[in-house]
Amino acid sequence: MTCKDNTKLSMNSKTTKIKASIITIGDEILVGQTIDTNSFWIASQLNLIGIPVAEIISISDKKEAIIEALNRELKYSQIVILTGGLGPTVDDITKSVLTTYFDDELILNNDVLAKIETYFLSVKRTMLEVNRLQAMLPQKADLISNDLGTATGMWFKKDNKDIISLPGVPHEMKGLIAKIIPQLKEKFQLADFFHRTILFQGIGESQLAGNIKDAENTCKSKNIEVAYLPATGLVKVRLTGSVAQSDFILSTLNDIREKYPQLVYGTESETLEEVIGKLLKKNKKTLGTIESCTGGALAGRIVSIDGASSYFIGSIVSYHNKIKTGIVGVNAETIDQFGAVSQETVESMAKNGRLKLGVDYCIATSGIAGPDGGTAEKPLGTTWIAIASADEIQSKKFIFNHNRERNIESTVVYALNFLRRFILKLN
């Protein structure tokens, strides 16, 4: 598997020499009950400030396993971040194991106790004795206050190494990581990296790498890292350099954006549905969908955005042809003559649907998502997407080559970018 991101480790180790290890504690990962997403998040945040992760390990919530993992990882890494085992139940032994390991002792922290009491009042739940024990904390460790729960983060120091223990509940862990990252950055006097991400839809990773290879080579010659992060129908490209290189990075990305306005839909963590939402709000336009193969998934994606009600009016999921003819108003003859998956039908769905829903833009989808229904003439994955406005109808055919789930997902992202291009007159 190619990993274009692996230049990063060498770049970082040149500039910093520090390394981190991540230890997740909990049998739920080892028995295959829970996917470890915490390590993924912590690794990504450490990498953003230039701290490479040497190793990620998941271990059992047993004393011996925790001690052995700590002994080992402290040999490799200056920073060890642990998650899990800080809850109030008997299984949660991380705090006591670490306190003993670092020759510390637990004392009642009245500030934390008051905070826990306030927390239980705010969520209107009864505070139990085990929750009170969560205010028993190691005396010498630095405490990192948890605004989203009752388990306090603990930062131990030993032999010039930093050992940080965080709760395993993802949103609590993330809240604490947001406090820790700036402190690590300051403590290790890490150079400020400058990151920018540019987002593409409608081009594969290899083809994109070919298209922008000159820019990539220039970046690499300046020691600016270029990382490709692919997903269904999407590729993210992230450039990482020094703060002094920020102007160069911005102008490089701007050049790419100007050269490929059809493909570049946004920057940083934007989603296509967000970008569409902003465009529609800005232009004071409304949107609706008429969906066959996507079956409501396209509308569902649009509605996932906060405040979608200011531009999204509604949708007709015309899965059965009788809805296409009956409610949407497609002529039965059109379907008879050309089929439900055809340019004629999908354009009629968009055009009639726009009037039925009373919207400025209407997207229509019709395709063969699979696993059945393909023919020699219209193979599995054949999908038509149309967009209608008051003045114009455009349509495109795609042949997606995946399973049902990914064919639907592909149709959704292609439809959203098609709408973006339609609105911006980039088709």
* Residues in 33-52 at the binding interface with a second copy, rule: CB under 8 A: 33-37, 39-47, 52
Residue 51 has φ and ψ, to the nearest 5°, of -100, 110
Distance CA 301, CA 304 (A): 5
Neighbours of 403 (CB within 10 A): 14
User: CB of residue 368 vs a second copy: minimum separation in angstroms?
Assistant: 11
Does 1 interact with a second copy (rule: CB under 8 A)?
yes
Query: What percent of the residues of the chain are helix, what percent strand, and what percent coil, each to the nearest 5?
Result: 45, 25, 30
Place of tokens 């054949």: 382
User: Where is 66: in which H helix or E strand?
Assistant: helix 63-76
Q: Give min distance, CB of 109 to a second copy, in A.
A: 21
Q: Does 327 bind a second copy (CB under 8 A)?
A: yes
Q: Is 268 in the site for a second copy (CB under 8 A)?
A: no
Nearest to 237 by CA among 219, 31, 371, 246: 219
Query: 280 is written with which tokens?
Result: 């529609």
Q: Work out whether strand 382-388 and strand 393-399 pair parallel, antiparallel, or are unpaired.
A: antiparallel
Q: Is 274 in the site for a second copy (CB under 8 A)?
A: no
Question: Cβ 103 to a second copy, closest distance in Å?
Answer: 26
Q: Rule CB under 8 A: choose which of 15, 16, 49, 53 binds a second copy.
A: 53
The CA distances from residue 123 to 135, 144, 175, 238, 308, in Å, are 18, 21, 18, 40, 29
User: What CA–CA distance (Å, rounded) separates 47 from 193?
Assistant: 10
Is position 322 an interface residue for a second copy (rule: CB under 8 A)? yes
The answer to whether 357 contacts a second copy (rule: CB under 8 A) is: yes
Least distance in Å: CB of 232 to a second copy?
Answer: 14
Q: Beta partners for 156? A: 163
> Any contact of residue 233 with a second copy (CB under 8 A)?
no
Contacting residue, 106, 143, 181, 313, with a second copy by CB under 8 A: 313
Per DSSP, the three-state class of 85 is: coil
Query: Which among 141-149, 263-271, 316-324, 330-338 is the span making contact with a second copy, rule CB under 8 A?
Result: 316-324
Shortest separation between residue 369's beta carbon and a second copy, angstroms? 8
State the minimum distance, in angstroms, from the CB of residue 263 to a second copy. 21
d(C-alpha 189, C-alpha 166), whole Å: 23
Q: Nearest Cα to 289, choosing from 278, 299, 297, 279?
A: 299
| Closer of 91 and 117 to a second copy (Cβ) | 91
Q: Is 11 in the site for a second copy (CB under 8 A)?
A: no
97 Cβ neighbours under 8 A, 6+ residues apart: 63, 66, 67
Judged by CB under 8 A, the stretch of 57-65, 108-116, 156-164, 194-202 that binds a second copy is 57-65
Q: Which one of 28, 104, 117, 205 is in contact with a second copy (CB under 8 A)?
A: 28
- Would you give the binding string for a second copy spanning residues 83-102, x where CB under 8 A is met? -xx-x-x-xx----------
Task: Report in angstroms how near the CB of residue 342 gets to a second copy at its nearest.
Answer: 17
Query: Which parts of 119-178 interact with a second copy (CB under 8 A)?
Result: 168-169
380 belongs to the binding site for a second copy (CB under 8 A)? no
Q: CA of 40: how far to CAs of 9, 24, 36, 174, 419, in Å?
A: 16, 11, 7, 11, 33
Q: Which stretch binds a second copy (CB under 8 A): 27-35, 182-190, 242-250, 343-351?
A: 27-35
Q: Name which of 197 and 242 has its Cβ closer to a second copy.
A: 197
Q: How far is the CB of 380 from a second copy (least distance, A)?
A: 12
